[in-house]
């Protein structure tokens, strides 16, 4: 598996995976992914034999020492879940955030125990609750935060 910059030619595949992964929560379309790339956000894909099996995106605003990053999405093909793909994608995003000395935030469904555990292993902590965050399902989300790597290691 390789984690590389997401290719525009893979946006259709991203939208297809969104339909499978998030059917009850307004999955992103091709145009939503295209808008993210057009805005200059950092997106990576996980590839096996040139086939996209996962994707992830991050936005960074501000400059050190006050930069903030937000994980916009992480998705992994169900056939490849549990094999470290999500961990590799998250690692790429956090590497980018750490380059900018950015505190990183994300939202995760409160019932997604596997994702929460992965985020906690990478230094995130739950700092808030967003009621009915995901629509149209109305599922709640935890807001999680991770300090930049040098701060995280010192604490």
Closest CA to 80 of 71, 70, 89: 89
Q: How, if at all, do strands 68-76 and 103-109 pair?
A: parallel
Q: What angle do CA 118, 119, 120 make, to 5 degrees?
A: 90
Catalytic, 107? Answer yes
Closest CA to 95 of 128, 127, 123, 136: 123
Helix axes 11-21, 30-38, angle to 10 degrees: 120
Q: Choosing from 36, 43, 107, 133, which is the catalytic residue?
A: 107
Q: Choosing from 43, 119, 120, 125, which is the catalytic residue?
A: 119
**For residues 56 and 14, is the Cβ–Cβ distance under 8 A?**
no
Catalytic, 119? Answer yes
- What positions carry a catalytic annotation? 107, 119
């Amino acid at each position: 598996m390789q984690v590389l910059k997401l290719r525009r030619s893979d946006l259709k595949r991203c939208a297809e995976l969104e339909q499978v992964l998030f059917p009850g929560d307004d999955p992103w379309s091709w145009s939503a992914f295209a808008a993210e790339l057009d805005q200059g956000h950092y997106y990576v894909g996980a590839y096996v034999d040139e086939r996209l099996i996962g994707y992830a995106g991050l936005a960074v605003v501000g400059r050190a020492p006050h930069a903030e990053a937000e994980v916009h999405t992480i998705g992994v093909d169900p056939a490849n879940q549990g094999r470290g793909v999500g961990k590799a994608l998250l690692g790429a995003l956090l590497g980018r955030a750490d380059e900018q000395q950015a505190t990183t935030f994300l939202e995760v469904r409160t019932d997604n125990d596997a994702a929460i555990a992965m985020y906690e292993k990478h230094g995130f902590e739950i700092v808030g609750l967003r009621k009915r965050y995901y629509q149209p399902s109305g599922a709640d989300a935890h807001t999680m935060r991770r300090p930049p790597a040098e701060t995280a290691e010192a604490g």
